[in-house]
Amino acid sequence: MSEQQANAKQNSDNKPFGNNNRRNKPLNGVIIVLLVVLAVGVFQNIYNPNYATLQGGEEELFKLMRNGHVAKLEIASHKRMLYIYLNEAGKKAKKITSASTDNPDFQLYIGLKFEENFSKDCKTKDVTYIAPTALPPNLMDRVLHSGLLGILFNVLLLLGIGYLFFGDVLGSSIGGGSSSQIIWGKKNKTGVTFKSIQGMVETKKQVRDIVDYFKYPERYLNIGATPPKGAILIGPPGTGKTLLAKAIAGEANVPFFSASGSDFEEIFVGLGAKRIRKLFASARKHSPCIIFIDEIDTIGYKRSSGAVEGGQSDAANTLNQLLNELDGFKPNERIFFLATTNREKVIDKALLRSGRLGRKVYTNLPAINEREETFAAYAAKIKTADHIDVKELAKQTPYFSYADIAEITNDAALIAVSKRRKAVTMEDFNEAINQNIGGIVRDGKMLKGKEKKIVAIHEAGHALVAHHMPNATPLVKVTIMPRTNAALGFAQYEPEEKHIHQEAYLLDEICTLLGGRAAEQFSFGEASTGAQNDFERVKKILEDMYAVYGMLPQIGPLSYYDSTSAGKYSFTKPFSEQRGQEIDKAITQCANKLLAQATQLITKHQDQLFQIADALMEKEELSGEEVRRILGPRPKFKKPKNLFEDYLSKKDA
């Protein structure tokens, strides 16, 4: 079962986060707010006429009456609203240009004591006063006509908005925090076992004792061994860390509390630590069990040495609470803490020390045999043609992750559907790999004329130089079809997967990268912008050779790489300006020397260069076999003298 299928099954069989109603909170809040706003609008349209309100209230009204500016006062019998009609002098004083006398000039809401104030302060014979009728006797009408309904709707409106945006805080304050009490998902069955995972042979061996700890706890107790409290799964994205955590719980057959690091990140101080406490409290009630937090670096990143405030302070409190909970584990509780990350260097060292997450399990990119096994497993789940060469697919995908292979398989099926095939063919898989590397073919941006010839010459230069380099890897394909990642063409090779590369291999790789520029300059007498990506890779390789791997004689066996930092360099380069100039000078000299070597090869084999370019102009894509038919058998290179082999031969003699 793939990771995507396992996730889909898990989401369908179990209610995520333990409380399904939590997912509907935003929708409920939206409905409440809309209803309240609609009701307020209806209320205002019915009970509030569109007349201007007199600014200044009753005092301004009394002033107008004393100055003789009021012609008539009318109290609406159902609304407790006073309508004010001004005479000509009042209109002029208030700068009212309307000559209509049918409609009031102002309205004013009157309180219950208006009659008393009016009779005291504003008795005048010049004002026509229409007294109000008696208020309605029933309670609802009294509420409607007293203005309390507007206040009520305003309160409901604020509550609706608060529920929508701050429901978690309201829930934790009103009712003991029921809304945030469970934010993780407790699964009694994950539906994933080690058999569900292709490859990862060595990694599964590393976590086997975690499963045995749950299955056979007496083995640990009898010998007096203290089982580990937790482990962290470290590896690049797509290498199966989350799936492996689910498989551990599936093999151990224990409840699985899962959460993401972002579930504990809140703008409100204290909620992250509170959720950590609740998570571990629930886990203790269901022990033996496994607690799993994905992307632990979200809450476990290194704490600042200075004073922090706000969100940073809350993040530090969340991490402190997590450390305290890990220290509180007892051996007989049989609770195991699992976490994943692809950014090990940003995690606080206190979390990774022994006794907490001291066990580090690395999930690496699959080797060629593991990719072959993964391709076979995924290909078995789709309808394929008679023969799919999974060995060839594995060779074409060095340094691809398990997630990449799953995507390639699905893309191949989608391509087959778009071409109206009844089954997925090897051609579909090859195109899916091309899409993963360079993107989808841009049919509307096909190369034409001189631009197409430049790209063909450029890619032919790469292929030709690689053929004549002793340490270069075999060519898989070369294409000049523009793709969506802005690549106008590319050459794909079949690199041998090694953990260590010698200097000769790196120099040959640089020379191959410079073959495109050398071919352009030889053929057209000038350079183009098409080699930018090649130059970026050349610069990176040379920088690593000289500043990291100690391959520059002027510097000697020194490395300026800091393995404790998150990147190659910090804010400043870890060497002096003079040393930096030495490195830059050596990089330039080496790049120019290798460019001259590539130009020499292009000049010597120019006929082969133009043959490859012409074939690319015609077909737009050539396989490695088609290129080798043009170039002929690969030259035999003299084996360089190996001092170590000479030493062994003399020793044996």
Active site residues: 459
Closest CA to 109 of 132, 138, 137, 80: 80
In the block, which residue shows the tokens 């402190």?
320
Residue for token pair 């029921």: 178
Backbone angles phi, psi at 204, to 5 degrees: -65, -30
Tell me how crowded residue 484 is: count the other CB atoms within 10 A of its CB: 12
CB 197 within 8 A of CB 317: no
Q: How far apart are CA 357 and CA 473, in angstroms?
A: 40
> Is 518 in contact with 598 (CB distance < 8 Å)?
yes
Separation of CA 186 from chain center: 24
Q: Is residue 639 packed enough to be buried (19+ CB in 10 Å), middle (13-18) or exposed (0-12)?
A: exposed
3-state secondary structure of 310: helix
Structure tokens at 236: 């690049």
Distances (CA, A) of 649 to 638, 641, 642, 643: 19, 13, 11, 10
DSSP per-residue string spanning 392-446: HHHHH-TT--HHHHHHHHHHHHHHHHHTT-SSB-HHHHHHHHHHHHH-SB-GGG-
CA-based nearest residue to 491, from 501, 500, 503, 469: 469
Q: Tokens standing for 547?
A: 């500043």
Side-chain-facing half-sphere of 35: CA atoms under 13 Å: 9
* Closest alpha carbon to 476 in 536, 393, 370: 393
Structure tokens at 73: 């006062």
CA distance 502 to 493: 18
**Cα→Cα distances 85→29, 88, 102, 108, 133, Å:** 44, 10, 9, 11, 19
328, two tokens? 């509180």
Please report the beta strands in 256-350, taking only residues with DSSP state E, as ranges in sequence order.
256-260, 289-294, 335-341
| All residues at 6 or more sequence positions from 8 whose CB lies less than 8 Å from its CB, including other chains | none
Q: Where are the alpha helices (DSSP H) in 439-531?
A: 449-467, 503-513, 515-524
Token output for 557: 């066996």
Query: Contact 146/80 with Cβ under 8 angstroms?
Result: yes
Read off the tokens for 466.
Answer: 């690689």
